[in-house]
Amino acid sequence: MSIKKISKAELTNFVDRLISTDKVIGVQAKGDRFDFAPLESAKDLRLDHDVTLQPPKKYFLPPIETLLTFEVGGGYKSKYSEKPFILIGVHPYDMIAINQIDKLYTDGYYDNHYMKRRNNATIIACDVVTASENVFASSMNAAVVKKGFDILLTDIGDAYVAEAATEKGEALLGKAKTTDADQDDLKKRQEVQKKNEETLNKHQLKCSPEYLPKLLDKAYNHPVWEEKAKTCFACGSCNQVCPTCYCFNVQDDVNWDLKTGKRQRAWDGCLLDGFTKVAGDHEFRKNRADRFRHRLYRKGKYVPSKIGGEIACVGCGRCVGACLPDIANPVKIYNRLIDDLGIE
Amino acid sequence: MCDCCATEKDIYLPQLATVQKVRLMNDTELYVRFTMDDGQFDFIPGQFVEVSIAGIGEAPITITSSPTQTEYIELVVRRIGNVTKAIHKLRAGDKIGIRGPLGNGTYPVEEAKGQNLVFICGGIGLVPQRSFINYVLDNRDDYGDVTILLGTKCFSQRFFHSELEQWTARDDVHFLETVDEAHDCWNGNVGVVTTLIPKIETELASAKVLICGPPIMYKFVLMALQESEVPKENIYLNLERKMKCGVGKCGHCQINNYYACIDGPVFRYSDLNAAPEAI
């Protein structure tokens, strides 16, 4: 696959041409912050954003999604999203999160609802230009991404280096006026990525991420869970903004005719009370501390064991900013455990 | 299943089934007999289905009939939530949706062959165990001694009366029963199910012990088994959780690193060392 160079002016023209023919979603300013939203004009696209309010996960796993339709007392029919779209401005850590969920939603039981959306997407990722207030992707080996995207853009000052990594990306990039990237361009790209690997690190994890499962093996009964959970509202904000959280609930919705309806899934969060409640009101993680610990164990141990060891926290820092009592920062908790338990 | 078939199938799509018979067994437990409309249904004792009532939702229910019963599938459903309340309104001929069979952790049907079996059931915990019990009784020569312990909260909550009578009458089944609270109509054992453990005649330490009951029961049964020096490898626990999606995605049934739906719902106790949430 090829690596091209595209001028900033041409990228704007290129995106405008895409908008005229395709559904294009890109990062835009929202007040003094940023979020993904449908693009109406390329001038609204902000590839210099620090972090988006919500991760791009919502385009593959929407907050509410219809899985199937039904007739009361009759049959069920699958409902899929078939519409192709282009997603521009996905940061490396978010791309890594998408790669993880791809694996989780296809291993064992293949989730067609997720994968149809995923296959309908063309992802134009971009290397980070501005570090956000709480990013720690460098600590999680997630500051730079090597796969999953169709095109990766890297701002090298006067232009972008554009790497097409798939046939879909190659075909799309072919529609833009580009030149082949030369050695100098590639060197500049390497410098950007090398810098990001070191500086997207507002919170420094005191161990390599690979060590986290081992650390957690001996931290189950550590007092930190109770201490932090004392001020936890169990609001689920940390779940809601997390690019690697993928739990959901399923609910039926009957139409006004009372004869037909739809079955929907909606995001759920393991921090919320009732998440594990079963018949007879028995709740397996009734204590907030248990739920608080569960999230950190999922990120650092449980999910990694299902995806080949990669840590399921990509260091986007969104939970740090979303948590009102300021207890969600995974780095602070893992570092506290390292301080108390040491590194073997 | 190959990859190309996997990508065609919708893991959340129920298949239609027809209710053949319903019968209220006590105040809260409904017996439901159904057949799949397309006829296909192979399962292993311990597996469950997601029963779907359009407009209300799905509930995970473990199959209570044995796979040796091929003409229909049986469930016992306690009336306790929205979906189970709707299930209780079903009548013969009604259509339901079924996803499954689900669950990869099942009863040790093959591994337990030739060995002595001890089933410890608490209340509605009899329901999942009954699938394996009847499978064993239908293949009686393949297994050693069969001991069944059943503890029910109160006399009026007992169900499957005629089957319990048959087990009592059989020479090749050692069936012991108790109720928690004394009752005028009951002259049997009174006390919780653990009080029956000392009465087991089979050598416990070498038997396969299978447990299913309310969450609180496991702790006490396991303590009693530990005293009898039953190795953890020989103990199987049926850990029912909130298996919402049934396919290892939604996260509700997670027990530490395990999902009850795809790693269980039947677990070998020795596999649960790193899962303190299990008990």
* CATH (domain of B72): 2.40.30.10
One domain for residues B79 and B124: no
Do A20 and A87 have their domain in common? yes
Q: Which of A153, A178, A199 is the last residue of a domain?
A: A199
Is the pLDDT at B13 greater than 80? The verdict is yes
* Chain B residues 201-220 with CB within 8 Å of chain A: 214-215
Question: B251-267: buried (b, 16+ CB within 10 Å) or exposed (e) per residue?
Answer: bbbbbbbbbbbbbbbbb
Task: Express each pLDDT in A120-171 by its tens digit.
Answer: 999 999 999 999 999 999 999 999 999 999 999 999 999 999 999 999 999 9
- Kindly state whether residues B164 and B32 are assigned to the same domain: no
The position carrying tokens 């099942």 is B106
Query: Rounded distance, CA B138 to CA B67, Å?
Result: 10
Band of pLDDT at residue A281, cut at 50, 70 and 90:
confident
Provide the domain limits for residue B122. Answer: 117-278
Measured between beta carbons, which residues in chain B are less than 8 angstroms from residue A118? none
Looking at the structure, do residues A127 and A213 belong to the same domain, yes or no? no
Claim to verify: residue B69 and residue B159 sit in the same structural domain = no
Same domain, B67 and B134: no
- Single residue among A199, A225, A246 that ends a domain in this structure: A199
Confirm whether the ipTM is greater than 0.90: yes
- One domain, residues B171 and B271: yes
CB contact under 8 A, B247 and A263: no
8 Å CB contact of B54 and A248: no
Tens of pLDDT, residues A85-122: 999 999 999 999 999 999 999 999 999 999 999 999 99
Q: Cβ–Cβ of B249/A248 closer than 8 Å?
A: yes
pLDDT at A235: 96
Would the CB atoms of B262 and A108 count as touching at under 8 Å?
yes
CB atoms B7 and A110 under 8 Å: yes
Q: Do residues A149 and A83 both lie within one domain?
A: yes
Interface probe, candidates A57, A61, A107, A109, chain B, greatest B C-beta count within 10 A: A109
Q: Do A233 and A185 belong to one domain?
A: no
B242 CB neighbours in chain A (<8 A) are: 276-278
Q: Report pLDDT for B240.
A: 86
Residue A249: closest C-alpha in chain B: B250
Q: Is B62 on the interface with A (CB under 8 A)?
A: no
Q: How far apart are CA B167 and CA B82, in angstroms?
A: 34
Q: Is B252 on the interface with A (CB under 8 A)?
A: yes
Over range A247-276, report the average pLDDT: 96
User: According to the model, what pLDDT value does residue A279 have?
Assistant: 83
> What is residue A280's predicted lDDT score, i.e. its pLDDT?
82
Inter-chain CB proximity A246 and B249 less than 8 Å = yes
Structurally, chain B folds into a number of domains equal to 2
Report yes or no on B107 lying in a domain. Answer: no
Does B207 have pLDDT greater than 50? yes
Whether A302 sits inside 8 A of B254 (CB atoms) is yes
State which of B102, B128, B144 marks the end of a domain: B102
Same domain (yes/no): A134, A8: yes
**Model pTM score:** 0.94
Compute the CA torsion angle A196, A199, A200, A205 (nearest 10 deg): 130
A229: closest CA among A289, A298, A286? A289
- Whether B56 and A111 lie within 8 Å, measured CB to CB: no
pLDDT at B1 over 50: no
Number of folded domains that form chain A:
2
CA atoms within 13 A on the CB side of B103: 31
Predicted local confidence at residue B132, as pLDDT: 98
Check whether residue B160 and residue B53 sit in a common domain.
no
Interface contact B245-A248, CB threshold 8 A: yes
B132 & B250 share domain: yes
> What tokens were used for A55?
């991760």
Whether A112 and B81 lie within 8 Å, measured CB to CB = no
Q: Do A250 and B244 touch (CB under 8 A)?
A: yes
Structural domain includes residue A204: no
Give the burial string for A143-158 (b: 16+ CB within 10 Å, else e). Answer: bbbeebbbbbbbbbee
Q: Is the pLDDT of residue B40 over 90?
A: no
Do B134 and B75 sit in the same domain of this protein? Answer: no
CATH code assigned at B160: 3.40.50.80
**Whether residue A191 sits in one domain with residue A213:** no
Nearest CA in chain A to B54: A72
Tokens 């009732």 appear where? A274
Q: Which residues of A touch B56 (CB under 8 A)?
A: 252
* Residue B70: Cβ-neighbour burial (10 angstroms; 0-12, 13-18, 19+): exposed
- In the prediction, which pLDDT does A200 show? 97
What's the gap in Å between the CA of B2 and the closest CA on chain A? 11
Q: Is residue B112 part of a domain?
A: no
Q: Give the CA angle between residues A14, A20, A26 to the nearest 5°.
A: 65
Which H or E element spans position B225?
helix B215-227
State how far the Cα of B211 lies from the Cα of B219, in Å rounded to an integer.
11
Domain that holds residue A333: 209-341
Beta pairing class for B235-238 and A248-254? unpaired
- Is A215 found in the same domain as A136? no
A280: left (phi over 0), alpha (psi -120 to 50) or beta: left
* B127/B82 same-domain check: no
Mean pLDDT, all residues of chain A? 96
Tokens of B172: 């090749």
Report yes or no: B187 at the A interface, CB cutoff 8 Å.
no
State the average pLDDT for chain B.
Answer: 94
Nearest CA in chain B to A305: B257
Among residues A168, A199, A230, which one ends one of the domains?
A199
Beta bridge partners of B58: B52
Please say whether the beta carbons of A79 and A264 come within 8 A: no
Mean pLDDT over B6-24 rounds to 92
Mean pLDDT value across residues B174-191:
92
From the CA of A15, how many Å to the nearest CA of chain B? 32
Residues A129 and A267 in one domain: no
Interatomic CA distance for residues A255 and A71, integer angstroms: 10
Residues B98 and B144 in one domain: no
